Amino acid sequence: MRNYLLVGIGGACGAMVRYTMNGWLKGVVGNFPLDTFLINLSGSFMLGLFLTLLTRRNSAQVELRLLVGTGFIGAYTTFSSFTNEVLTLLRSENWLLGLSYSLASLVGGMLCVWAGYLGAVMLEGGLKKTKATTHEIKLADEAQPISEGKK
C-alpha cells in the first residue's frame, strides 16, 4: 500500500507542476503544441538525470524511484497529450507538422534523456564508468516490478 501512496503523492505533485507549466507556456505556436513538447523534453531530461544519479550511487531506494521517477516525472510528462496532438494535426491535414512533431519529440526526448545522463555523470565526477552493471540496468528499468515491502 505504501508504494501506491508514494506513486500517488509524486503523481499529484507532477500533475500540478505540469498544469502550471502548461499555463506558463500557453499552448500552440502556429499549430505546433510547444507546451507539451517542452514539458516532455524537460521530463525526459529529469528522468535521465534522476535515474542515472540513483544508479551511479548504487542506491536501491525503491521509495525514491517510485515517488520521483514513476510518480512525479510520470505525471509531469504526457504521452497521451502528445499522441492526441499528433492525431489532431494529422486529421486537420497538417501532415508535415504532425510528422515533424512526432520525430522531434522522439529524437528530442532521447537526446534529453542522454543529456540528463551526461549531466548526472558529470555531477558524480565524470565518465569513469563506461558500462552499466546489471544492477544499474535493473534499477533504471521503470517497467521492472517492485514488490510491496521490498527495499
77 annotated to a ligand binding site: yes
32 has which bridge partners?
29
Does the structure show a pLDDT above 90 at 46? yes
Do 74 and 14 meet the contact criterion of CB atoms below 8 Å apart?
Answer: yes
Distance CA 52, CA 36 (A): 24
10 annotated to a ligand binding site: no
Task: Read off the pLDDT of residues 95-121 as tens digits, 9 standing for 90 and up.
Answer: 999 999 999 999 999 999 999 999 998
pLDDT confidence of 23, banded at 50, 70, 90? confident
- Output the CA torsion sign for 144, 151, 149, 62: negative
At 91, the amino acid letter reads: R
Q: Report CA 111 to chain centroid distance, whole Å.
A: 12
Mean pLDDT of 136-148: 51
